[in-house]
């Protein structure tokens, strides 16, 4: 959106000084520019007490609002996005595929893998490491460095500069509010300055792939003169791009993500519009050598009012892209990931025709986002919206275990926000990364990459269940096109396996499938399980949607690895029955690894070596509790040859509960992040323990979310790291407190749907409309005064589903059983209130 910090304020000052700055640019250094910005920030903003949400704010309360500009990026700025692009206050810009590193920076980059010539030596090391593991009394090794490789040009997801919009307007800013409308996907800022009432609205539209920033006056005053400039000056490390005027209202930016080596090229095409024919645009080209002022800017002269009327609005629309091409990440393309020039790509988009009618554009965008977010799903937690206090004040007043009166509304907003963020960051080409698609540096914490030891999984926990199935497709394309091709090479060169593929803990967008050597790689990079865990999502997508065509073309080839093989074989129409037989045989021989240890814990390791005081952030041994099913639906009959055959389901659940208690509340010495707390909340919900569930959930909210409700990795840092996983994990945990239907080992095993398993007292009454569970089943649930009142199960008549047995449970009672089939409708009404 528009620069709130820089937009109004900077605007004011820079406005007046812009011409001077441009003409004297050689004398301005970056430092002077920053000082100028700070000066302006301090000087021009007048605090005003506003005691009600702005008039444009949703009446339901579904949004975030503030009475002050955003200052700290990770805790105060507001995000909009369409999957392809993302933007924040000051219009801090992002293009989803802009990454440093990879083959663009180093033509010999090979995904962090050993060379073919190293395979024999690697095999020898592997042999020694395996021998060491088997000889060790605890079955472990502290050294796998021989298997790892230097990350080389692993790179980082990179921010893509800033769009500055500068109004020629002076005077103190009053009446200031900014807000994010989660129904319509709009970020707005409203203020009054020198008798002019202004409204700036920013959104990113998925149908057009463009972002739009619209500025209008809302009283009789004309729109002041306006300047649009693109700058990389506030993003340290992004080289100054070429910025050129294409016409009087079109600016073209072409730059590289890094200077040396140059790295990937990106481009933006900005085009300014006004609904008034009186608006006069001109694009000014300046031969200057600094990122700021940039060497080309678009100016709107609007104040020259005439008898025929005044100019009241203007907007700038932009599209952006890079030369990255996910389809070029295989042997046939020599893993170049290189596509056509981004400028060529952008010039093919119908930017002029599609973006010239603001009213139509806005209507198209709101219809699209409303359709994605709320046409078939909604949640009500019995919240009462508080429109008298801005979101930062509500957040500050939020309490761990707090009363419903103050907590439920913010719980509900954060739930909706998670779905909004996923729909805004996962409808382009790539899946949501560690920061979704919002990043403000040329390199970002953990490269803002894809971590597969919980984070990328958590990003998608809500997708299937809350009707966002379509946003998972970039995830599967990403697996298929960036992991599988080079992962097959890794499987061969590292593990001497010619069937299938493997990845490790951290992945970029260039197929980094090798094991990264960094500090002690044995502790974290040695993580070949990542691919298997990710395949849960592939199976789940089919299990929820029953999309057989998708399964045959993309899902099955990815999954042909693993546990879902047996369940999905028939639907795949694969004729390789020898493969099925082999998988069945190997599964039956496998020890599934569940063991109960000396202090009653579920063992994390094969040997009983867990410490009862280990409050590590991960719950890796409880993956089968949530989001998996090996613990939640433990069945001794499918436990292979290991000792777990001898345990009952209750014994396993009790042991998992002991482990969960001892892992603490997610504030261990190793980290205090949000994702560990929301994962714990979901795990407590799996035990039906509503007070612990809500304790962890509300603890996460109170501890790990900023005023802008971004999830913060290190909340006590003055400039904390944004890590989006808990934004997605929070709503997933909420769902697990309200509705559970964990997977089962075979499709003939009844799917047990538990209603309101961990309903906390803070959400006394409410409803869910359109939740999905496995088998293509849609569930509506209503509750009142803490008790279930009605549950409806439906299956779309047009959907060709596999029939499966379903059992419905509430408060430990079986309410009923049925077999799912197309067109099914089953209603359970409870009237014992
Ligand atoms: C593929 O890329 C490698 C560098 O990673 C290069 O050595 C090789 O010549 C390329 N092969 C072809 C066919 O372009
Ligand atoms: C890879 O496995 C094959 C088949 O088991 C074996 O013959 C070969 O020696 C192995 N290669 C290496 C480098 O270990
Ligand atoms: C308000 O605008 C008027 C007309 O452009 C100008 O003369 C005046 O200086 C402005 N006031 C302030 C406080 O900037
Ligand atoms: C606030 O805005 C309203 C109209 O939107 C205007 O009438 C009023 O004068 C403004 N107040 C201040 C202090 O600018
Ligand atoms: C910028 O323009 C110069 C001169 O035309 C050219 O050499 C350079 O490659 C361009 N840079 C980018 C990123 O397009
Ligand atoms: C824009 O600025 C860059 C340096 O920042 C300079 O190399 C380039 O020549 C300028 N382009 C134009 C068209 O003036
Ligand atoms: C979290 O656990 C720590 C360590 O046991 C404890 O000091 C703290 O009070 C707990 N906080 C909450 C909100 O549970
Ligand atoms: C929830 O878990 C806590 C911590 O283990 C325990 O004290 C409490 O009794 C449990 N509540 C229920 C209802 O099981």
Residue list, ligand 7 pocket, CB within 6 Å: 400, 664-665, 667, 699
Confidence at 307, pLDDT banded by 50, 70, 90: low
Q: Which of 240, 253, 284, 295 to mutate to test the pocket of ligand 6 (most atoms within 8 A of CB)?
A: 295
**Residues 232 and 158 sit within 8 Å (Cβ to Cβ):** no
Three-state secondary-structure class, residue 104: helix
**Mean pLDDT of the region 276-288:** 85
Q: Measure 306 CA to ligand 3 centroid, in angstroms.
A: 20
Question: 117 pLDDT exceeds 50?
Answer: yes
The ligand with the least distance to the CA atom of 343 is 5
Query: Which ligand 5 atom is at minimum distance from the Cα of 255?
Result: 13
How far apart are the CA of 697 and the centre of ligand 7, in A? 13
Per-residue DSSP letters for 259-321?
A: SSS---EEEEEEEEE-SSTT-EEEEEE---SSSSS-SEEEEEE----BTTB---EEEEEEEEE
Average pLDDT, the chain: 89
Matching residue, tokens 């047995």: 805
Whether residue 692 has its Cβ less than 6 Å from ligand 8? yes
pLDDT per position as a tens digit, 124-138: 999 999 999 889 888
Q: Tell me: the pLDDT tens digits for 450-478?
A: 999 899 999 999 999 999 999 999 999 99
SS3 at position 495: helix
Could you tell me the pLDDT band of residue 315, with boundaries at 50, 70 and 90? very high
Residue 20 has pLDDT above 50, yes or no: no
Q: Which of 170, 197, 223 most suits a substitution to test ligand 3, by most atoms within 8 Å of the C-beta? A: 170
Helix axes 404-425, 690-704, angle to 10 degrees: 70
Say if ligand 3 is within 6 A of residue 195 CB: no
51 lines ligand 2 (CB under 6 A): no
pLDDT category at 11 given cuts 50, 70, 90 is very low
Site to substitute for ligand 7 among 407, 614, 665, most atoms within 8 A of C-beta: 665
User: Which ligand is located closest to the Cα atom of residue 197?
Assistant: 4
Give residues (CB < 6 A) around ligand 4: 174-175, 192, 197
The closest residue, in CA terms, to atom 11 on ligand 7 is 665
What value does the mean pLDDT take over residues 71-94?
80
Q: Determine which helix (DSSP H) or strand (DSSP E) holds 425, and give its type and residue range.
A: helix 404-425
Beta pairing partners, 516:
149
Please identify, by atom number, the ligand 3 atom nearest to the C-alpha of residue 194: 1
CA 26 – ligand 5 centroid, Å: 20
From the CA of 286, how far away is ligand 6's center (Å)?
Answer: 8
256 touches ligand 5 (CB under 6 Å): yes
Identify which of 230, 245, 246, 254 to mutate to test ligand 5's pocket (most ligand atoms within 8 A of the CB): 254
Buried b (16+ CB within 10 A) or exposed e, 345-360: bbeebebeebbeebee
pLDDT category of residue 121 using cuts at 50, 70 and 90: very high
Question: What pLDDT was estimated at residue 18?
Answer: 27
What pLDDT shows up at residue 510?
98
Name the residue with the closest Cα to ligand 8, atom 3. 692
Q: According to the model, what pLDDT value does residue 34 have?
A: 34
Which residue owns the Cα nearest ligand 1 atom 11? 334
Residue 188 has pLDDT above 50, yes or no: yes
* First vs last C-alpha separation in the chain: 49
Over range 661-676, report the average pLDDT: 93
Pick 811 or 91 by higher pLDDT.
811
Query: Average pLDDT in the 495-505 region?
Result: 92
102 CA distance to ligand 5 centroid (A)?
21
Protein residue whose Cα sits closest to atom 14 of ligand 1: 334
Q: What local confidence, expressed as pLDDT, does residue 306 receive?
A: 60
Residue nearest to ligand 2 atom 14, measured at CA: 123
Whole-angstrom CA distances from 805 to 454, 775, 776, 777, 821 are: 31, 10, 13, 12, 10
Question: Which sign does the torsion angle of CA 115, 483, 679, 79 carry?
Answer: positive
- Write down the residue that tokens 């000396």 correspond to: 598
Ligand 2 atom at minimum distance from 119 CA: 13
| 612 or 260: which leads in pLDDT | 612
- Is the model's pLDDT at 8 over the cut of 70? no
Q: Which of 120, 123, 129 to mutate to test the pocket of ligand 2 (most atoms within 8 A of CB)?
A: 123
- Mean pLDDT of the 32-54 span: 49
Residue nearest to atom 12 of ligand 1 (CA): 334
Residue with CA nearest ligand 6 atom 12: 287
DSSP secondary structure, 572-603, as one string: HT---HHHHHHHHHHHHHSB----B-TTSPBP
Pick the more confident residue, 416 or 37.
Answer: 416
Alpha carbon of 101 to ligand 5 centroid (Å): 19
Residue 46 — very low, low, confident or very high, per pLDDT cuts 50/70/90?
low
Query: Which of 100, 230, 242, 263 to probe ligand 5 with, by most ligand atoms within 8 A of CB?
Result: 242
Atom of ligand 3 nearest to the CA of 172: 13
In this predicted structure, what is the pLDDT of residue 236?
80
Over residues 548-560, the pLDDT tens digits come to: 999 999 999 998 8
Q: Is the CB of 171 under 6 A from ligand 3?
A: yes
678 C-alpha to ligand 7 centroid (Å): 15
Q: Which atom of ligand 5 is nearest to the CA of 262?
A: 13
Q: Atom 7 in ligand 1: which residue has the minimum CA distance? A: 108
Query: Does 83 have pLDDT greater than 90?
Result: no
pLDDT in tens, 363-391: 999 999 999 999 999 999 999 999 999 99
DSSP secondary structure code for residue 720 in this structure: P
Ligand 5 atom 8 nearest Cα: 242
Q: Does the pLDDT value for residue 292 go beyond 90?
A: no
**For atom 9 of ligand 7, which residue has the closest CA?**
665
CA of 703 to the centre of ligand 8 (A): 22
Each residue of 518-530: pLDDT tens digit? Answer: 777 777 788 888 8
- Pick the residue whose CA is nearest to atom 5 on ligand 7: 664
Q: Which ligand is nearest to the CA of 683?
A: 8
Burial (Cβ within 10 Å: 0-12, 13-18, ≥19) of residue 823? exposed
Domains of the chain plus CATH, in order, are 2-98+161-325 (2.70.98.50), 590-707+723-733 (no CATH), 750-829 (2.60.40.1180)
- Confidence category of residue 296, pLDDT binned at 50, 70, 90: confident
> pLDDT tens for residues 704-741?
999 999 999 999 999 999 999 999 999 999 999 999 99
- The rounded Å distance from CA 174 to ligand 4 centre is 8
């Amino acid at each position: 959106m528009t620069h709130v910090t820089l937009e109004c304020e900077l605007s004011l000052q820079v406005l007046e000084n812009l011409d001077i700055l441009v003409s004297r640019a050689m004398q301005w250094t970056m430092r002077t520019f920053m000082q100028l910005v700070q000066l302006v920030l301090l000087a021009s903003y007048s605090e005003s007490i506003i005691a009600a949400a702005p008039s444009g704010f949703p009446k339901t309360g579904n949004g975030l609002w503030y009475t002050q500009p955003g200052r700290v990026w990770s805790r105060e700025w507001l995000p909009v996005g369409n999957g392809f692009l993302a933007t924040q206050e000051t219009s801090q810009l992002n293009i989803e595929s802009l990454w440093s590193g990879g083959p663009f920076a180093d033509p010999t980059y090979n995904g962090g893998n050993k060379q073919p010539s190293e395979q024999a030596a690697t095999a020898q090391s592997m042999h020694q490491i395996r021998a060491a593991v088997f000889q060790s009394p605890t079955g472990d090794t502290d050294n796998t460095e021989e298997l790892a490789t230097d990350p080389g040009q692993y790179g980082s997801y990179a921010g893509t500069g800033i769009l500055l919009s500068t109004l020629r307007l002076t005077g103190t800013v009053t009446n200031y509010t900014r807000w994010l409308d989660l129904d319509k996907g709009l970020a707005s800022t409203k203020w009054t300055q020198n008798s002019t009432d202004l409204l700036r609205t920013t959104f990113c539209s998925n149908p057009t792939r463009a972002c739009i920033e619209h500025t209008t006056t809302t009283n009789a005053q004309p729109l002041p003169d306006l300047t649009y400039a693109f700058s990389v000056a506030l993003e340290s490390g992004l080289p100054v791009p070429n910025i050129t005027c294409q016409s009087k209202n079109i600016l073209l930016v072409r730059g590289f993500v890094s200077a040396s080596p140059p790295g990937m090229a990106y481009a933006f095409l900005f085009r300014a519009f006004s609904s008034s024919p009186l608006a006069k645009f001109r694009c000014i080209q300046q031969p200057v050598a600094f990122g700021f002022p940039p060497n080309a800017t678009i100016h709107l002269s609007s104040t020259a009012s005439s008898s025929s009327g005044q100019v009241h609005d203007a907007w700038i629309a932009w599209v952006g892209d890079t030369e990255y091409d996910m389809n070029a990440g295989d042997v046939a393309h020599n893993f170049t990931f290189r596509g056509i020039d981004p400028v060529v790509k952008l010039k093919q988009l119908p930017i002029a025709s599609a973006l010239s009618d603001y009213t139509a554009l806005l209507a198209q965008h709101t219809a699209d986002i409303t359709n994605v977010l709320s046409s078939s799903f909604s949640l009500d937690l019995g919240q009462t919206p508080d429109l008298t206090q801005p979101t930062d004040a509500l957040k500050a007043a939020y309490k761990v275990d707090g009363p419903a009166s103050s907590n439920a509304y913010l719980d509900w907003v954060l739930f909706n926000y998670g779905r909004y963020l996923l729909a805004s960051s996962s409808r382009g080409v790539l899946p949501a990364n560690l920061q979704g698609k919002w990043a403000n540096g040329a390199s970002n914490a953990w490269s803002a990459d894809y971590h597969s030891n919980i984070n990328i999984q958590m990003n998608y926990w809500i997708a299937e269940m809350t009707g966002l199935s379509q946003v998972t497709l970039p995830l599967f394309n990403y697996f298929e096109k960036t992991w599988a091709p080079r992962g097959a090479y890794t499987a061969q060169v590292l593990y001497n396996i010619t069937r299938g593929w493997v990845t490790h803990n951290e992945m970029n967008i260039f197929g980094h499938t090798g094991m990264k050597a960094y500090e002690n790689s044995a502790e974290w990079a040695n993580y070949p399980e990542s691919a298997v865990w990710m395949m849960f999502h592939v199976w789940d997508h089919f299990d929820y949607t029953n999309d057989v065509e998708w399964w045959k073309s993309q899902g099955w080839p990815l999954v042909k690895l693993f546990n879902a093989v047996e369940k999905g074989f028939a639907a795949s129409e694969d004729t390789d029955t020898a493969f099925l037989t082999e998988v069945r045989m190997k599964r039956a021989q496998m020890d599934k690894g569940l063991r109960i240890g000396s202090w009653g814990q579920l063992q994390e390791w094969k040997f009983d070596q867990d410490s009862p005081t280990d409050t590590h952030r991960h719950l890796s041994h409880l993956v089968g509790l949530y989001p998996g099913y090996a613990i939640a639906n433990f069945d001794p009959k499918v436990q292979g040859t290991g000792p777990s055959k001898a345990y009952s389901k209750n014994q396993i659940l009790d042991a998992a509960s002991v482990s969960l208690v001892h892992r603490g509340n997610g504030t261990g010495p190793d980290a205090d992040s949000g994702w560990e707390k929301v994962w714990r909340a979901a795990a407590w919900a799996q035990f039906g323990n509503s007070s612990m569930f809500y304790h962890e959930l509300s603890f996460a909210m109170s501890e790990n979310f900023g005023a802008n409700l971004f999830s913060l990795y290190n909340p006590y840092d003055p400039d904390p790291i944004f890590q989006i996983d808990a934004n997605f994990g929070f709503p997933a945990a909420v769902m697990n407190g309200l509705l559970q239907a964990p997977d089962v080992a075979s499709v003939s095993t009844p799917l047990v749907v538990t209603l309101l398993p961990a309903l906390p007292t803070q959400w006394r009454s409410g409803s869910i409309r359109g939740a999905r569970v496995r088998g293509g089943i849609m569930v509506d649930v209503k509750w009142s005064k803490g008790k279930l009142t009605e549950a409806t199960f439906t299956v779309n008549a047009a959907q060709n589903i596999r029939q499966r047995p379903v059992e419905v449970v509430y408060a430990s009672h079986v309410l009923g059983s049925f077999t799912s089939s197309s067109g099914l409708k089953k209603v359970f009404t409870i009237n014992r209130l």
